[in-house]
Amino acid sequence: MKDWLDEINWNSDGLVPAIAQDHKTGRILMMAWMNREALSLTAAEQRAIYWSRSRGKLWRKGEESGHIQVLHELRLDCDADVIVLAVEQVGDIACHTGRQSCFYRVYQQGQWNTVDPVLKDPNAIYHTAHSHE
């Protein structure tokens, strides 16, 4: 039997983009990268685990903030090069800025406007300063 991970068209860095989507509303929460180990562990542990390119290591979403993503479903697109995770976002905050979604800016009249509120001050979420979890 073929290994399900072999069916994925990994990019030249051995990664695949992974989109996290709220399993109830369908809202796109964030996009991150997964390597083979991250995807395998995500399926095994039933929670979102990504590959942090900046830190060069596995990133268990919510390991610092407590805002884990409980996996409900994994989907693979037609070209086998993008993953969608239907998740329950614990705490309703996916973004390191303290917002529900990382996609909180809307292009309007030639500029990017912030349209979603900060639900929790990032300084109250994280104990150290950083750009991402």
Structure tokens, 67: 């805002």
Quick one: 69 exposed, middle or buried, by C-beta within 10 A (0-12, 13-18, 19+)?
A: buried
* Domains detected in the chain: 4-92 (3.10.20.810)
Digit-coded pLDDT (tens) for 31-64 = 999 999 999 999 999 999 999 999 999 999 999 8
- DSSP three-state, residue 29: strand
| 35 in Cβ contact with 67 (< 8 Å) | no
Digit-coded pLDDT (tens) for 5-22 = 999 999 999 999 999 999
The tokens 């095994």 sit on which residue?
44
Structure tokens, 18: 């992974």
Predicted TM-score of the model (pTM): 0.90
